[in-house]
Amino acid sequence: MNTPLVDPFQRAIDYLRVSVTDRCDFRCVYCMSENMTFLPKKELLTLEELDRMCSTFIGLGVRKLRITGGEPLVRRNIMTFFRSMTRHLDSGALRELTLTTNGSQLERFAEDLYAAGVRRINISLDTADEQKFADITRWGRLPQVLRGIDAAQAAGLRVKINAVALKGFNEDELFSLTEWCASRDMDLTWIEVMPMGDIGNEDRLDQYWPLKDLRARLAERYTLIDLPERTGGPARYVRLEETGQKIGFITPLTHNFCESCNRVRLTCTGQLYMCLGQEDMADLRPALRNHPSDTRPLQEAIRAAIARKPKGHDFDYSRQTVDGQMPRHMSHTGG
């Protein structure tokens, strides 16, 4: 039972992304509707169950654990979970513990995260304009996030900014965001907007800004040096010769790079999605809850799920329709 997780296409699965809550203190227009209906709290895995679940994956060869949401830091007592995962870093079983956050709670938790062994974090930030930030997040306040970035860097955390490329919204900030990140010694990754969840009146096609166009604009001002690094994910990286920073491009729509996918996603309710862009999932809760003192059923359920991991997803905007749209919200699956 200790042999590594390998899917049907001989990809080693060593990266688990875990949503610890579907709740968030923002309501970003491309992610959630303004009046979201969240899951009843009793349906969420407890922190103890999340520990057992993640520890089982680590025992099966997962070496990188990314905590997501919703906004993971709004979950009550979440630092208890981070501190419990520290033992796997100390033992060497886990290579990296990290998280993706909107930055709103980092002023409170940055030092605790570093103490728990977190060294790198991703912060989702689509604009550095205070009014536009308020508009796109609906509930968010940019100064609070900026204080969180300050706190994270002061604590010793390496910060990477994730920005969703949105046509007509942050196109005019391409160069200013780049320069701002460079001035703070932060790398920047651009992400194509993904067709997930009912977001009300927002039109995905109106939002869609292809990253090939974004990259071409960057090349008008900077010298882009392609980097060979591969993480198993959809990102491809360049270094800007003029600033020295790394710029990433995540293109699930125009080029998905599924052939090297090394990750799976666990929801806050215990469903394992083997592919972000497919609806097939495995409910791991029965194996977890029906056998509290025996990990073998959970291990078997995980292996059976990995055996169903598909070759890739089928997001596609090329025909001016949102083919491959997923009805579930990103906040449920985990970003």
Determine how many CB atoms are found less than 10 A away from the CB of residue 259.
10
132 is in an annotated binding site: no
φ and ψ of 145, to 5 deg: -70, -40
208 is in an annotated binding site: no
DSSP 166: B
Per-residue model confidence (pLDDT) at position 195: 60
Alpha-carbon separation of residue 332 from 199, 272, 322 (angstroms): 14, 11, 20
Here the tokens at position 229 are 């690094």
232 is in an annotated binding site: no
Confidence band (pLDDT; 50, 70, 90) for 319?
Answer: very low
| SS3 call for 124 | strand
Distance linking the first and last C-alpha atoms of the chain: 29
54 is in an annotated binding site: no
Q: Inform me whether the pLDDT recorded for 177 exceeds 90.
A: yes
Per-residue model confidence (pLDDT) at position 330: 55
Distance CA 234, CA 306 (A): 19
pLDDT in tens, 195-237: 644 444 445 547 789 999 999 999 999 999 999 887 666 789 9
What predicted TM-score, i.e. pTM, was given to this entire model?
A: 0.89
261 is in an annotated binding site: yes
Question: Please, which residues bridge with residue 188 across strands?
Answer: 161, 247
Which own/partner contact pairs does 116-119 have at CB distance under 8 Å and 24+ positions apart? 116/79, 116/82, 116/83, 116/85, 116/86, 117/82, 117/85, 117/86, 117/89, 117/90, 118/82, 118/157, 119/156, 119/157, 119/158
Here the tokens at position 156 are 């010793």
24 is in an annotated binding site: yes
* Structural contact between residues 238 and 246, judged by C-beta atoms closer than 8 angstroms: yes
Q: Which CATH number fits domain 15-333: 3.10.20.90, 3.20.20.70, 3.40.718.10, 3.30.530.20?
A: 3.20.20.70
pLDDT in tens, 286-296: 999 999 999 99
Alpha-carbon separation of residue 300 from 127, 222, 252, 288, 290 (angstroms): 44, 50, 30, 11, 13
Please name which of 76, 74, 98 lies closest in space to residue 26, comparing C-alpha atoms: 74
28 is in an annotated binding site: yes
66 is in an annotated binding site: yes
φ and ψ of 184, to 5 deg: -100, 5
